[in-house]
Each structure stands twice: as C-alpha cells, then as structure tokens.
Structure 1
Amino acid sequence: MNRSCSSTNLFLLALDSLSVYRNLLEDSVLGKLRELLAGLEKMDLQLRDIINYYNDFYFELAKCPGLSLSHHILNQLIFAENSFSFNAQAMHPSMPENTLDQAVVSDLKNLETIAKLDSTTLKAEIAKLYKNNNTGNYPDDAGTFPESLLQILPDWEFSPTLLVNREPEHLRTLKEKFLTSTCWGDCLQDLKEFHRQYGCGIFARSIAFIWERTEGRGSLKCVERPDPITLRDLVDYHDERSRVLENTRQFLKGYPANNVLLYGDRGTGKSSTVKAILNEYHPLGLRMIEIPKAFLADFPQILRLLHNRSQKFILFVDDLVFGDNEENYTSLKAVLEGGLESKTSNILIYATSNRRHLVKEYFSERAGLQSSNREEEVHAGDSMQEKLSLADRFGINVVFSSPDQKQYLKIVEGIASHRNLAIDQTTLHKEALQWALWYNGRSARTARQFVDWIEGELAGH
C-alpha cells in the first residue's frame, strides 16, 4: 500500500512540520499522538501494538478538560513560550515584528489540522490500513480483521465550541476567535495582541505565583485560586492604604515608583492590602509573586526571569524579619539598593512586617559600643546602624496601628454592612467587644473573624 497517500501521513506531516511551535511535540498528549501516527506508518507493526499506542494517547487526552484535543492544542499554543510569543510580549522586541509571521501562520494551520482529528477518522484509517495489509495476523480464530475491537476503543470528537469553565474573558475571547475561524492562520494578529497585552507562558496563565524550591532548584508555581479579597472588602485605614494605591498606579503607568514596607501591629490588614491591590489592578497587567523569606537569596534568578517582560510585577514578601547573620538580609539589601544586577522598571518589592526594625538587634550589641572585650566588634555602632537602616531602603514606609475601640467598632460595622447582616447596632457592638476580649484583641482581622462568626450564628437561627 502507498502509505504517503494515507490521512495518517498527513496528520504526522502536520506535526513534523512545526517549527516555531516545535516544543509542543514535548507535550505528553501530542507526543503520544505522534507515536500513534508514526506507528501506523510502519508496515510491520502488529495491530496489538497500534491498540496500545491508541490507548496510551487516549490516557493522556483523558486528563484534559472536556476530553477535547482541539481545546488542549489551543491551550498549548496560547501559553507557549517560543521566539514568536516572547518577542510579541517583550518590552523591547529583539527582532522585526514580521520576521516570524510566515512560519507562525504555517504552524497555526498545521495545529488546526491536528486539532480537527477525531476518533472516527483515526479508527477508519486503522481499519483501512490493516485490512489492506491482509497479513492475517489478527487476534481472532478466523484470522479476519476484528471490527469489534476497534468499535470498543474510546472516542473523542472535535469540539468547535467553548468549554464551560471559569477562564478569564480575554482568554475565552481568543479561543472563540480560533474555534470560529475558517483558518487558524488568520488569527495571527489576535494572538500577537494577546501576547502583547497579557504576556506568554506562565504569566499569561495566572496573575499570582509563589516562588518555591524543588530539589534545590527554584521555580514559579501558579496560584490557581488567589485570595479573592478586594479593596471594597477592606474597611478603614484609608489614609494608609491610599499611599500604597497611589504608588501602585504610578508604577502601572510607567512612572517612577517606590518599594513599599507596610509594618505595624498584627491583624491590621497589611497583607490583605497587598492582595487586594493585585485583584484591583491585574487587568492593567499587574502580576504578583510571593517569595518566602527563606528564598530571598534567589532574587537574582527571579530578576533574570522577569527581565524584558511586558507585565508589571510586585514581589511580595510577607512577615519580613531577619535574625542575626542571615544571608537573605544581604540579598534583599542588594536588590533594594541596586547592585550590578539591579531590578528593572517593571518590578517593585512590597513587604509586610510586624516590626519597624526588620533585623533583630541585641543588647549585647549596644554594650559593645563601650566594651573593652576583645571579642566585641570594634565598630559596633556601624553594625547597629546598618541593621536599623534596612527599613529606610524601602522608599515608602506605611504604618498600620491597632485600632482603638471606636475604630474597631467602625470596622465591624463596615464589614457587617457590606454583608447585609440583619442585626441591631447595640447587639453588634456588644458582641464585637466581647469577641475582642475573648480572642485576639482589637484589630481588623479580629473584626472580620467576629463578623464571620456572627454571620454563621444568624444563618443558623
């Protein structure tokens, strides 16, 4: 049989013809599909082997939302990082805009070909190839081709409509462009604009990330469900919060902006403020990466990863405080001051702490200022000032203090009103003050925990 005329050969050729999007062949689904198609091109491969290839591919496809090959391929090409997508989203493109266009259009057409492959087409091709082979090497007593064996293989279909999911509007819009287009190659400009506005790779997929280490190597992990808190949910502390908001707006507009330290009493809304800022401004290209204090030494690696990206990034360090002689202190100090590898204009650092002095200081150090002990540092005063000055290296310091009783009750009222709780003010105040005595004292966090409790109480009666 002339295999060059088979449809499996055309699908295989479409995969092998990928150039700019060639790394998609490393995807588990497309990799298994390629193994299946390549197996069908081998004259001596037994049907049993092809059945195994088919089910290996289906096993990977079944992990995809909606069991849809077309939607999986769309996800892969939309979030791909390659020379085209990275150049389209870069603040300073490294090549003329149209240099890769022709190759990308060709890849999009080939991916469309693969996306429209369904199980019915593939099963028919398998049956045709093995019937024409006429080897008689089939797993039944008569030595005839087992049609029933193909019929029970699992199916999938081409899905030309959007799946029902919680994807952002801009992502659904782009996918709909592809799925309703008569030629995926015509969607080149839409894809370019998507990368230009939302970036590529992991940064187009999510708005919040956590830096983590696995086997000694640092990497970004998407936060699938970021804290949904909004600025509207935060009551009081308007003056403190306004300084951070104004700085963030300047940053997003491309104007000079400062690193920010939010410090003060626990439970006053420092971390919530930073998270609410992300939810408010991510449509303008803001992304946030939370960096555990233990991994601050990875700052240079993170800066290189974010270099030349179109998005604006806030590196968020929560609950910041240093012990004595911590190398992470030096790493943060270098980034704040600007070393040989300084942060770029698309990066700011927002940190929270319960203390103004971020580096622990000991009485022994103060004693060293007048000590005759040979083991004490000669210039102990310089070391002490060095520790006390870390907070000053943040351009903006914002203090969040515990509320007095009047402010605490105002916060309780605001949260209860936002949730439309049917409770009289006298009872609300009485219960709120009692809650503060029983638990963590007066704070914005305590107010929110109290309203959570009282809302549950009201719902249960």
Structure 2
Amino acid sequence: MINMCTNLNSFSKLNSLLLYRNILDDQIVKKLSKLISSLNKNNNTDTKTLKNNYYELIADLIKIAEQENFAGDIWKEYLLKLIITDQNIFSLRCEQDAKNIGDSLYQAAIHDLKILQQIYQFKLQNLAQQIELKDLNFINNFLPSKRSKNKETPASNFKKIIDAFNNHRATTTLTKSLMEYYQDHGVGTLGLYKAFRWKDNQLIGIKDPDSISFDNLVGYENQQEKLIHNTEAFLNNKAANNVLLFGDSGTGKSSSVKALLNQYSEVGLRLIELNKDQMKELPKILESLKKRGLHFIIFMDDLSFEDFETEYKYMKAIIEGGVEVKPDNVLFYATSNRRHLIKEKWSDRDQESGEVHLSDAIQEKISLSSRFGLTIFYESPNQKDYLTIVKELAKQNKLTISEEKLKTKALQWEMWHNGRSGRTAQQFINYLLGQEA
C-alpha cells in the first residue's frame, strides 16, 4: 500500500483535541478514522474488506446528506455540523458572552481548530485512491433531492462558517468567526433550528416551521405593534411581559407569534411549542434553558382548560415565582379563544353550589389569565375590514379578478363558510387560486 498523503495522516491528531472531544465519539468519524488507520498501519487488511468499509461509510454519509439537505462536499458539510453543534465549555461560554472568553480557553480553542482545519481539508477521493477505487465524484458536489424553501434549514444556516473555513487561513480569524456564530445563532440544535417541540425530555428542532411574516398579515396593526414592542424589549434584556393573545378563531393570533419568530430569529429568538399536557414538564424545560445565551418564547397555542383540569397550576406557580423561578431569558406567549383560560360555569356563581368560599373559587379560575402581564385582543373583522383583507391577499397572490367580482364572491364565501376572519379570507383566496390553476 502506497504512503498516505498528509491530510490522511492528520486524522491521527484528532486524539489531541481538548474541547471538541465529543467529535471522537461520532460514528462517522470513528468509521473514517478506523479505515484510515488500517491503511496507515499497512496491517494487511484485505482489499475486499477495505472497499466494503469505504462503501458503508459513503452510504451513511449519503443518507445523512439527504436527511440534512447537505449540498457540496458532504464530508466538509458533515464535519462543520459536528463543530457548530458540539456543546462544550467553549461553545457554551461563547453563546452566553463571546466577548468575555478567558485567554486560556481561547488558546485551547485555537489548538483544537488548527487540528479541525486540517481534517476539514480531507478529501474522500484520496481515500478511494488508496484502496484503488474509482472516485465517486458526486460525493464532492452532492445535490440533495429536496431543497427546502426555508432559508433557515440546517444545511444553509452555517454558510458563514463554511466561508470562514474556506477563506480564512489564520486559525485566530476562524476562531473569532466561530465565537461570533455561537453567540449570534446558539450552540447545538439551538443553532440549527429556530422552532422546537419538547419530546422525550429534550428539544426537537422543527425543520420547516411556518415561514409567515408580518407582511403576509393584513390588519391588526395595533395588536402586532404591542406584540413587537414587548418582544423587542425582551430581546434587549429590558422588562417584558408574558403575553396572552385572545379572541375569535382565525384572526391571526398564532400567525402573529410565528411572524415574530421569523422576524427575530437572527438576533437570538427561539420558540418552543408546548401543549397543556406537557405543563408538568416545565421545570425540566426551564432547567435546560436558563443557562443558555438565547431568548426563548414558550408558545402555547389555543390554550384553555376545562374546570376539572389542573395542569395550569404548574405554569401559574412558575409565573408567580415559586420555588421554580422563570429564567430571565424565557417568556410565555399563549393564544386562546377565551379571555379567562379556565372554563367557568353558571354553577360557579351559584351560592347553593356547595362551594364555601365562592369568591376564592371564582378568583382561582381567572387567576391564570391575570398572570399574563400583557393581554392583546383580536376581534373578528367587520365587513369593511374583511374585504380589505381579501383585497390585499388577492394582490399578494396576483389574482386576476375584477374588484367587484372579488367582493361579491368574498361575501358569499364568508356566509357559506366560517364567518368573517383572516383565516376565512385566506381560505377564499386559496379557493380562487385553485380555480385559476
């Protein structure tokens, strides 16, 4: 077996990593290191086994590239994902405050990144040549089958670091670029995604969250202004309130919160979807967030409780500041059709209902909604506002229909369907688009 080139030998330096040692436990890195080691030692491993191990490695990388929408050199993309998602003492400190990293920790990072720069330059075709295989050119310029329209998908979100690796030869420059990235975008899955679900005691990134923006939302400017002002105060570490958006169905409450995320994710805003059955998980969720350097909105959509449900007490206790205190980097945003989130019945006000302290019982049921410092009301639009929404949506979608005909059909639609609302208007526009197709 002919001698290995320098960038193959560089894999032996991985064991010298100080901060990024989690990379050593990665299965792809293990397989690649083992294959290179077999060649370097010239240990008489038969060619058939070497080729099989190589193809198995490439098969794994192709599967990952398809899942993650990697494009280009899939080894480089894969290694970069390992680097930006690695949660170590350096990356987490940078996420919190990259400007105040101690010099010793900084030097340790430079030590590691010098090694990783060499590993980054590794070419899979060099490995293929050593075991006398024909180069699989497509793995160096991979094109995934499905390219997401969402600009914040994992494959595109670390373009800045790809540029830094490709263009900056000085390790100090690369290190500073990576530090800035950790602080701006976060570490681990928090750096790859902006919206999450809580599942199996961990945050799971949502690959393609709703891409709606405030430009897509017609009307309710006053409500949106209040929401934006509160969120900007939160992101600037100023006093901000938990928010309850309540009102009629289809008026844009949920869409407003999603638009917030799309507008401010680049400055460290993240959203975690939570349903009422997961309220008891709040202490675990807050524990995982409180030491992170980003800002989190825990979002509960269409929130309401029947009078026999008690899960709300978990959130109420946290908002009130009980034993488990809400971290400063977390706010609760909820939408509901009810002003008071817990269902009330007329019997609750009946003096003969058997409740000794009637006033206390009623106050308990309205207490949760009162814990939201900012309450924003979304009411159904009147006919004029409804038609304005329809007209603007038709314009956004470039519908070719006369204004008079649009008005007539829109009024018919709202009578036959769910009444006047932004959602009804959007459904009407979708219908017209389908008719034009």
- TM-score bracket, shorter-length normalisation: 0.7 to 0.9
Contact 1:264 1:399 in 2 (8 A): yes
1:375-426 CA-to-partner distances (Å, cap 9, x unmatched) read x443343122201221111001111111222221122122223333332222
Given that 2:250 and 2:422 are in contact with CA atoms closer than 8 Å, whether structure 1 keeps it comes out as yes
Q: Does residue 80 of structure 1 match 2:91?
A: no
Q: Which residue is equivalent to 2:215? A: 232
Q: 1:414 and 1:2, CA in 2 relative to 1: closer, same or farther beyond 3 A? A: closer
Q: Is the partner of 1:113 in helix, strand or coil?
A: helix
- Alignment match, 2:175: 188
User: Sequence identity, in percent?
Assistant: 37
Per-residue CA shift, 1:174-211, capped at 9, x if unaligned?
21111123355541111111112222111111211122
The structure-2 alpha-carbon separation of the partners of 1:402 and 1:124, relative to structure 1 and needing over 3 Å to count, comes to closer
Q: Which structure has the greater CA radius of gyration?
A: 1
1:436 aligns with 2:414: yes
Q: Deviations over 1:342-401 (max 9, x none)?
A: 11221111100011121122344333x335xxxx44334312220122111100111111
- With 298-307 and 182-191 compared, the bigger mean Cα shift is at 182-191
Which residue pairs with 1:342 in the alignment? 325
The more displaced of 399-408 and 52-61 is 52-61
The yes-or-no answer on 1:399 pairing with 2:377 is yes
Name the counterpart of 2:28: 29
Aligned to 2:345: 362
What is the alpha-carbon distance in structure 2 between the residues aligned to residue 72 and residue 114 of structure 1? 12
Contact 2:95 2:292 in 1 (8 A): yes
Instruction: Identify if the C-alpha distance between structure 1 residues 327 and 36 changes in structure 2 by more than 3 Å, giving closer, same or farther.
Output: farther
Q: Quote the residue 1:147 is aligned against.
A: none
Change (3 A) 1:451 1:125: closer
Q: Is the CA contact 2:341–2:369 (under 8 Å) kept in the aligned structure 1? A: yes
Return closer, same or farther for 1:8/1:174 CA change in 2, 3 Å cut-off. Answer: closer
Q: TM-score, normalised by structure 2?
A: 0.88
| Cα shift at 1:241 | 2.2
Residues 242 and 117 (structure 1 numbering): CA distance in 2 closer, same or farther, change over 3 Å? closer
5+ residue gaps, structure 2 = 142-146
Contact 2:19-2:112 within 8 A present in 1 as well: yes
| Structure 1 unpaired stretches of 5+ | 127-149
- C-alpha separation between the residues in 1 aligned to 2:25 and 2:187? 18
Match of 1:446 among 419, 424, 434: 424
Q: Quote how far apart the aligned CAs of 1:91 are.
A: 5.0
1:315 Cα deviation from its structure 2 partner: 1.1
Change (3 A) 1:100 1:317: same
More deviation in 387-396 or 414-423? Answer: 414-423
The aligned residue for residue 116 of structure 2 is: 111
Whether the aligned pair in 1 keeps the contact of 2:98 and 2:183 (CA below 8 Å) is no
Question: Superposition pairs for residues 164-313 of structure 1, below 5 Å?
Answer: 171-184=158-171, 186-212=173-199, 217-313=200-296
> Which residue of the partner structure matches residue 145 of structure 1?
none
Say whether 1:419 aligns with 2:397: yes
1:408-445 Cα offsets, whole Å, 9 max, x none, are: 11221222233333322221111001001111111111
Q: Call closer, same or farther: CA 1:414–1:158 in 2, change over 3 Å.
A: closer
Instruction: State the alpha-carbon separation in 2 of the partners of residues 245 and 122 from structure 1.
Output: 53
Please say if residues 92 and 308 of structure 1, whose CA atoms lie closer than 8 Å, have aligned partners that are also in contact.
no
Q: 1:329 to 1:180 in 2, by over 3 A?
A: same
Q: Which amino acid aligns with 1:423?
A: I
1:137 alignment partner in structure 2? none
How far the C-alpha of 1:154 sits from its partner, in A, is: 4.8
Please say if residues 98 and 179 of structure 2, whose CA atoms lie closer than 8 Å, have aligned partners that are also in contact.
Answer: no
For 2:268 and 2:78, the matched residues in 1 are separated by: 25
The two structures, once aligned, show a CA RMSD in angstroms of 2.8
Q: Over residues 61-112 of structure 1, what are the superposed CA-to-partner deviations in whole Å (9 max), with x where a residue is unaligned?
A: 223324521221112112221111001111599x852222222222212222
Shift of 1:30: 0.9
Q: Which amino acid aligns with 1:105?
A: I
Residue aligning to 2:144: none
Whole-angstrom distance in 1 between the partners of 2:223 and 2:121: 55
Distance 1:406 1:35, change over 3 A: same
Q: Determine if the alignment matches structure 1 residue 89 to structure 2 residue 95.
A: yes
**CA distance in 1 between partners of 2:180 and 2:130 (Å):** 39
Cα distance in 1 for residues equivalent to 2:198 and 2:225: 28
* C-alpha spacing 1:240/1:33, structure 2 compared with 1 (3 Å): same
Contact 2:245 2:377 in 1 (8 A): yes
Q: Aligned letter for 1:237?
A: Y
Count of aligned positions: 422
Q: Is the 8 A contact 2:2 2:130 kept in 1?
A: no
State the match for 1:121 in structure 2: 126
